Amino acid sequence: MKRRYFRSVIRFLLLILLVQPLTLMGAPDDSQRVTVIRAGRVITGTGEVLEPGEVVIVEGKISLVGNQLEYPKNARLIDAPGQTLMAGMILARSSHGLQSLSKNGTNCNWSPLRQLNEESMPWDDFLEAGFVAASLVPAGSGFPGHAVVVKTTPESSDRVIKAAAYLPLNGRSPTGIYSSVGKGFDAARGEIEKVKKAREKWDKEQEEAKKKAEEEAKKKDGDGAATEQKSDKPEDEKPKEFEPPQMNPAVIELVKILEENDDALPIVFFAQNPGLILHLDSAISSVKELKDRDPLSIFILPGSRTGAFHQVVELLTERKATVLVPPALSAFPDTYTRIYIPVVLARGGCSLVTLPAADNLAGMRGVPAKLAELVRYGLSREDALASVTLEPARLLGLDDRMGTVEEGKEPHFVLFDTDPLEPGARVMKTIIAGEVVWDREDRR
Amino acid sequence: MISNFKSFLVMLAVILLVTDIPFTGGTSVQLAGVAEAQDPPRRRRRGRRPQPPPPTPEPLAKEEPLDEPEGEYLAIEGATIHTITGPVIRGGTVLSKDGKIVSIGVDIAVPDDAQKIDASGHHLYPGLVAFRSNGLVGSGEAEKSQDPFALGTVTGLAAGITSTWNGSRVSKLIRGQVTDLTLRRQSFISISYRSGNPGKKKELREALEKVQEHLRKMEQHALEKQKDPDAAAPDDKWIRGPYAIARSLLLAEKVAISRVSTIFDLREICQLARRFGFKMIIEGAEEAWIEPGLLARCGASVVLTPRSRRDRDESRGAAGGSSIENARILHESGVPFSIMPASKGIALWGLAGRDLSHLPLEAAFAVRGGLPEDVAVESITIEPARMLGVADRVGSIEVGKDADFIIMDGDLLSYMSHVRWAIIDGKVQYDKMEEGLLDHIRPPGEDDPPAPDDHWPRRLGDPL
């Protein structure tokens, strides 16, 4: 009897142990719960348009995209009839809201996060314009720091998506470029030499120590077997690991580029005028390690209508460059015709990344309208939308995580009231990680 | 106080509007006393200065690898060829290979794969050489400062200029590339020796005297050393600054350059040059016609601006002022000169015609004063090339020289003519019909083409 009672207690305890996880799973915990977004239209970014469309989010990932999907009754539903859903837009370069600070010279280790003040950061500006992620860059000439990709969620515990995405390189004049590139890589080479020398010195010391030990061993060999045990001792000691001297952290990224490390960051050059691209090529090829490598192929172009960027279209399309360009850039080479630089670049096979015309709320808000304008002048709809979603994701090395509405990607979306390329289209909702973080309804 | 400041601003604006200062910056500063027109100060080295490499023409035979006889040929056919240093060839052909002229003449053999330009009815000249310029080919080393797509370069080519000195280097007006622009490094010693600043005059004269004394001592020392190897050399630590400049003048390492206008100052500086035996280039020389033998005797070269005006100095009572005959008179006295417009830049505003975009017109004004036409053309081609030390590469059409040509649709000195093609190193750098700058003016085959509907200048009263 007593034994049976004991058994039932054990069974009860086992039951509790078994049931507990189930009850946890069944509980309305947000991270586990299924979220469904139902929109009037879904532009997946992979060439498909679903009308109407549904996106199912499970465990923080898109699990299904389609229409008339079946999903659990208790799923959380975000209903947006009549609205158009597409992948959240990504801002490839911004300093908006950062505390202004200019870093000149070579400071590759400088992170713009140090200029970011959570309290005063205007996250709503990004969200209102439909940007779910932004690559923040520091200002300044030369190598002012590295770009950091962050989520634009107002309150986030894991704000940083990528701690280092690319190395911006700025120069206003040819002389500035030659000196930035020259000085930066000279310093990097110096660091490599420093480590090499230290290594050689260490190797030499080790060899000398070994020789000494061997000589001593020989001497002691003559003395007799009694001392043999002692002579074994230095051999037992493990050789000390070589400790390389500390490198200057400001140039480590450039060292990685010289040494062709896998995690070397790409350089993104801000070409104030087209001629600077040629000077950059010449400056880069004057660095002996980089002479025989492919030329740099990621450029930021300015937003003004001046400048003769039509002159370098061929050069950029030849190397299939990635070009970050505000949509307003155009040129009047012969008074009669205007050339829309982003259009000719995209058509020529460059990968086009659109930047706002100005690095502020008005500029960001104007991006879809400007893209619509470019579509009117010959840019394909797909290229236009990709230039704010998939292409920046690719540039930042995040294309496996965001940029399209696809299974397995992170659920960051933006919902427009009509087609995003319709003039006057407005952002209605911005969704980051399956949560509505900005809603126009709340603004009323 | 405020109204004073305001009126100053207004004055400044008026001065800027009226005068034809090129907008491209790089103002020409007359360095006080003795100074050197060279790179910016931060690039200067102390002590020994790097000598410009002697201009060595690359031998033709060596340039072509033996196993690969093919090259890039350009043949310009049918033009009237003004070779400058040789005869004028009518209906001739100029053949260039890899940027160098290989043959000139009538009925010469042209390879089948050569690029051909039919220039019949056109005049072919060597590319013009502007003695000095601002904003055409960067500043300092063109390879590191030139904007390869600058409008100034296109307008320079449209004016026929293919090479120029930017104050530190002689460079070519090549577009779309930032390599192989520099012909040679060139610097002159800018000196000031005029009655307006007697202090500086004295300083320069005394420096020259002192250094000349030192050089004599050095010669004596060299003689002594042959007898006594331990003889102490004269101290030369003090030779720096103005003294170093004086030494490089006395040793003929460098040529002096000076802006001198009045006959009084010309006499003074020529006397100085003859006494110390240094070479010099005079810019301006408006009153040189009064005593042309003066410049001929001291072996100076001159940079003339035939249209510059200067009034006679009444207080001196003698002959004075500028003359349109200045160039002719200097030519007849055997003084070599090149011609430059009043402005060293290319200005797209202000009074037209006084800047480098009208270089041939400036030379034409010397012809108006009696100068032979061929000499006028020389004064904007081979003469400036000689003065800049690049006459072995540019300035005339000769076998072995660089293939830098301009093909005009008329006589170079005619106000009607335009550059049809400008060719540098055997490549077309400017084509009037491709550029959209002057293509609407007398296009080939149309004497009076209809103006495009939407084109500048619009008639007054038309809505914009």
* Residue A87 identity: A
Residues A59 and A138 in one domain: no
Residues A425 and A333 in one domain: no
What is the spatial distance between Cα B439 and Cα B456, in angstroms, rounded to a whole number? Answer: 13
* Residue A4 identity: R
Per-residue confidence band for A345, with pLDDT thresholds at 50, 70 and 90: very high
Task: Please check the confidence at residue B204 and state whether its pLDDT lies above 90.
Answer: yes
Residues A286 and A148 in one domain: yes
Length of chain A: 444
Q: Which of B193-197's residues contact partners 24+ apart within 8 Å by CB, and which partners?
A: B193/B258, B193/B260, B193/B265, B193/B268, B193/B269, B193/B272, B194/B260, B194/B262, B194/B265, B194/B268, B194/B269, B195/B262, B195/B264, B195/B265, B195/B268, B197/B33
- H/E run at residue B287: none
Is A349 part of a structural domain of the chain? yes
Q: Using a CB-CB distance cutoff of 8 angstroms, which residues of chain A are in contact with residue B149? A: 273-275, 308, 311-312
What is the spatial distance between Cα A112 and Cα A94, in angstroms, rounded to a whole number? Answer: 10
Residues A343 and A413 in one domain: no
DSSP string, A23-40: HHHHS--TTTS-EEEEEE
* pLDDT at residue B417, as a whole number: 92
Tell the residue number behind the tokens 């586990």, with chain if given.
A32
- Interface mutation target, options A311, A335, A337, chain B, most CBs of B under 10 Å: A335
- Interface mutation target, options B39, B42, B43, B149, chain A, most CBs of A under 10 Å: B149
Residues A301 and A420 in one domain: no
Which of B56-70, B84-98, B168-182 is predicted with the least confidence, judged by mean pLDDT? B56-70
Interface residues of chain B, partner chain A, Cβ below 8 Å: 138, 143-150, 176-179, 435-436, 452, 454-456
User: Helix crossing, B263-276 with B198-227: angle to 10°?
Assistant: 10
Is A226 part of a structural domain of the chain? no
Residues A388 and A443 in one domain: no
Q: Are strands A89-94 and A49-50 parallel, antiparallel or unpaired?
A: unpaired
Q: Do B144 and A275 touch (CB under 8 A)?
A: no
Residues A65 and A46 in one domain: yes
Percent of chain A exceeding pLDDT 70 equals 86
Q: Do A335 and B456 touch (CB under 8 A)?
A: yes
Q: Using a CB-CB distance cutoff of 8 angstroms, which residues of chain B are in contact with residue A311? A: 149, 176
Task: Please check the confidence at residue A236 and state whether its pLDDT lies above 70.
Answer: no
Q: Among residues B197, B135, B200, B204, which one has the least CA distance to residue B171?
A: B135
Is B63 part of a structural domain of the chain? no
Task: Please check the confidence at residue B274 and state whether its pLDDT lies above 60.
Answer: yes
Find out whether B311 and B321 touch, Cβ atoms under 8 Å.
Answer: yes
Looking at chain A, which residue has its C-alpha nearest residue B142? A174
Q: How many domains does chain B have?
A: 1
Instruction: Say what the ipTM of the complex is.
Output: 0.73
Q: How far is B244 from chain A (nearest CA, A)?
A: 29
Strand partners, A351: A322
Residues A394 and A423 in one domain: no
Is B215 part of a structural domain of the chain? yes
Q: How many domains does chain A have?
A: 2
Percent of chain B exceeding pLDDT 90 equals 61
Per-residue confidence band for B353, with pLDDT thresholds at 50, 70 and 90: confident
Task: Please check the confidence at residue B464 and state whether its pLDDT lies above 50.
Answer: no
* Residue B106 identity: V
* pLDDT at residue B394, as a whole number: 96
Is A409 part of a structural domain of the chain? yes
Residues A144 and A93 in one domain: yes
What is the number of CB-based contacts under 8 A between chain A and chain B?
Answer: 42
Instruction: Provide the residue range defining the domain that includes B333.
Output: 188-387
Q: Using a CB-CB distance cutoff of 8 angstroms, which residues of chain A are in contact with residue B435? A: 334
Q: Do A275 and B145 touch (CB under 8 A)?
A: no
Distances (CA, A) of B304 to A143, A218, A284, B335, B366: 48, 90, 43, 11, 9
* Residue spans of alpha helices (H) in B316-424: 326-332, 359-368, 373-378, 382-387
Task: Please check the confidence at residue A221 and state whether its pLDDT lies above 80.
Answer: no
Q: Using a CB-CB distance cutoff of 8 angstroms, which residues of chain B are in contact with residue A278? A: 148, 176-178
Torsion, Cα A58 A64 A65 A71, to 10 degrees, reads: -80
Find out whether A394 and A400 touch, Cβ atoms under 8 Å.
Answer: no
Strand partners, B301: B281
pLDDT tens for residues A301-321?
A: 987 656 678 889 999 999 999
Is A230 part of a structural domain of the chain? no
Mean pLDDT of chain A: 87
Q: Are strands B280-284 and B182-185 parallel, antiparallel or unpaired?
A: unpaired
Is A196 part of a structural domain of the chain? no
- Interface mutation target, options B177, B178, B431, chain A, most CBs of A under 10 Å: B178
Q: Does A337 touch chain B (CB under 8 A)?
A: no
**Of A173, A178, A274, Cβ closest to residue B149:** A274
Higher pLDDT, A346 or B41: A346
Find out whether B143 and B396 touch, Cβ atoms under 8 Å.
Answer: no
- Interface mutation target, options B147, B432, B455, chain A, most CBs of A under 10 Å: B147
What is the spatial distance between Cα A66 and Cα A389, in angstroms, rounded to a whole number? Answer: 20
What is the spatial distance between Cα B451 and Cα B436, in angstroms, rounded to a whole number? Answer: 13
**Of A174, A312, A336, Cβ closest to residue B144:** A174
What is the spatial distance between Cα B172 and Cα B158, in angstroms, rounded to a whole number? Answer: 14
DSSP string, A52-100: SEEEEEETTEEEEEESS----TT-EEEEEEEEEEEEPEEEEEE-TTSPP
- Report phi then psi at B349, rounded to 5: -145, -175
Which of A376-390, B159-173, B374-388, B445-459 is predicted with the least confidence, judged by mean pLDDT? B445-459
Is A54 part of a structural domain of the chain? yes
Choose from A300-309, B150-159, B371-380 the range with maximum mean pLDDT: B371-380
Instruction: Please state the rounded mean pLDDT for residues B204-210.
Output: 94
Per-residue confidence band for A332, with pLDDT thresholds at 50, 70 and 90: low
Q: Do B149 and A175 touch (CB under 8 A)?
A: no
Q: How far is B144 from chain A (nearest CA, A)?
A: 6
What is the spatial distance between Cα A6 and Cα B46, in angstroms, rounded to a whole number? Answer: 101
* Residue B248 identity: S
Residues A293 and A441 in one domain: no
**Of A273, A282, A311, Cβ closest to residue B176:** A311
State the number of CA atoms in the 13 A half-sphere of B348 facing the CB: 11
Task: Please check the confidence at residue B44 and state whether its pLDDT lies above 70.
Answer: no
What is the spatial distance between Cα A134 and Cα B415, in angstroms, rounded to a whole number? Answer: 59
Tell me how far the alpha carbon of residue B208 is from its chain's centroid.
Answer: 28
* pLDDT at residue A239, as a whole number: 61
Assign residue A301 the CATH number of its domain.
3.20.20.140
Task: Please check the confidence at residue A113 and state whether its pLDDT lies above 50.
Answer: yes
Q: Which positions ≥6 away from B207 have C-beta within 8 Å? A: B34, B242, B243, B245, B246
- Interface mutation target, options A284, A318, A334, A338, chain B, most CBs of B under 10 Å: A334
Encoded tokens for B216: 């004599």
Higher pLDDT, B252 or A242: B252
Q: Among residues B342, B396, B400, B298, which one has the least CA distance to residue B87?
A: B396
Task: Please check the confidence at residue A204 and state whether its pLDDT lies above 80.
Answer: yes
**Of A175, A311, A312, Cβ closest to residue B144:** A175
Q: Do B145 and A274 touch (CB under 8 A)?
A: no
Tell me how far the alpha carbon of residue A197 is from its chain's centroid.
Answer: 35
Q: How far is A175 from chain B (nearest CA, A)?
A: 6
Looking at chain B, which residue has its C-alpha nearest residue A332? B436
Looking at chain A, which residue has its C-alpha nearest residue B148? A275
Q: Among residues B182, B176, B178, B245, which one has the least CA distance to residue B210?
A: B245
Q: Does A380 touch chain B (CB under 8 A)?
A: no
Q: Among residues B104, B97, B100, B21, which one has the least CA distance to residue B58?
A: B100
* Residue A222 identity: G
What is the spatial distance between Cα A59 and Cα A32, in angstroms, rounded to a whole number? Answer: 5
Instruction: Please state the rounded mean pLDDT for residues B381-388.
Output: 97
- Report phi then psi at B319, rounded to 5: -65, 150
What SS3 state is found at A106? Answer: strand
Is B363 part of a structural domain of the chain? yes
Residues A419 and A392 in one domain: no
* pLDDT at residue B33, as a whole number: 40
Burial B19-58 (b: 16+ CB within 10 A, else e): ebbbebeeeeeeeebbbbbbbeeeeeeeeeeeeeeeeeee
Tell me how far the alpha carbon of residue B423 is from its chain's centroid.
Answer: 18
Which DSSP letter does residue B237 get? T
pLDDT tens for residues B290-315?
A: 999 999 999 999 999 999 989 888 88
Q: Which positions ≥6 away from A90 have C-beta within 8 Å? A: A131, A132, A133, A134, A135, A388, A389, A392, A393, A396, A398, A402, A403
Is B296 part of a structural domain of the chain? yes
Q: Do B436 and A336 touch (CB under 8 A)?
A: yes
Instruction: Please state the rounded mean pLDDT for residues B383-394.
Output: 96
Instruction: Provide the residue range defining the domain that includes A155.
Output: 89-174+251-398
Is A422 part of a structural domain of the chain? yes
pLDDT tens for residues A2-52?
A: 566 666 666 665 555 554 544 444 444 555 679 999 999 999 999 999 998
Residues A380 and A316 in one domain: yes
Looking at chain A, which residue has its C-alpha nearest residue B434? A334
Per-residue confidence band for B435, with pLDDT thresholds at 50, 70 and 90: confident
Looking at chain A, which residue has its C-alpha nearest residue B438? A334
Task: Please check the confidence at residue B181 and state whether its pLDDT lies above 80.
Answer: yes
Looking at chain B, which residue has its C-alpha nearest residue A315? B176
Helix, strand, coil fractions of chain B, as percent rounded to 5: 30, 20, 50
Is B442 part of a structural domain of the chain? no
Assign residue A73 the CATH number of its domain.
2.30.40.10
Assign residue B317 the CATH number of its domain.
3.20.20.140
Mean pLDDT of chain B: 84
* pLDDT at residue B449, as a whole number: 52
* pLDDT at residue B28, as a whole number: 39
Whether residue B449 has a cis bond before it, omega within 30° of 0: no
Q: How far is A399 from chain B (nearest CA, A)?
A: 36
Is A225 part of a structural domain of the chain? no
Residue A343 has a CB neighbour count (10 Å cut-off) of 22
What is the spatial distance between Cα B258 and Cα B302, in angstroms, rounded to a whole number? Answer: 10
Instruction: Please state the rounded mean pLDDT for residues B90-116.
Output: 94
